[in-house]
Structure 1
Amino acid sequence: MPETIVMHDQNKVNSNNLFNYDNVECSNHLLHDLRKCTENINHIWSKQLDKLIIRTNVKRQYFIEQESESFSPVEEFSFFTNLDEAIMLGVRKLKGWPSL
């Protein structure tokens, strides 16, 4: 099986299990969905995730301009820590568990 990742615009045909690639969503579509979730349902986790993605994209652009090849291990750790926190907040909300 090839290890290919395809980014596309939510075309359901591309999510077919018969294809030999994984699907990802572009950050603009993800941000759009997160903002709808924040505006329509007032979820805190979606707002946190929205801000995290925006901050990371700004940093990414800065590093590209500085000709850096990657984020530092500290920045990666911080990103994934914040990502996990936002996701767990969403899971707790979904399951009806109290916030920490």
Structure 2
Amino acid sequence: MLELITSVLLLIGAFFIFVGSLGLLRLPDFFMRLHAPTKASTLGVGGVLLASMAYALKDGLLIHELIITLFVFVTAPVSAHLLAQAALRLRLYSKAKLPD
């Protein structure tokens, strides 16, 4: 049963990482490309770390995965915000047509 939970969590994490990388490749401008991998990779890494925690439960709860999860969930939005602010200061505006 534990292997099934671990496998499902790994598949969910891999799906979100794949969607984030696909968004990075396919979206048209910088801000959209920034949004896709930031959100999706955070969820993907969270799924992989949850799978790691589920697998480690048979040996006892490890604090390492919780610290890594906290670090990823704090640093990913902060770095995305700083990249967006730098792009705004460099005037990298969207090339997509905005509705009137």
Same fold, judged at TM 0.5 (above)? no
Q: Say which structure, 1 or 2, has more relative contact order (CA 8 Å, 6+ apart).
A: 2
**TM-score for the superposition, normalised by structure 1:** 0.42
Q: Which has the higher helix share?
A: 2
Q: Which has the higher strand share?
A: 1
Q: Which has the larger radius of gyration?
A: 2
**TM-score for the superposition, normalised by structure 2:** 0.42
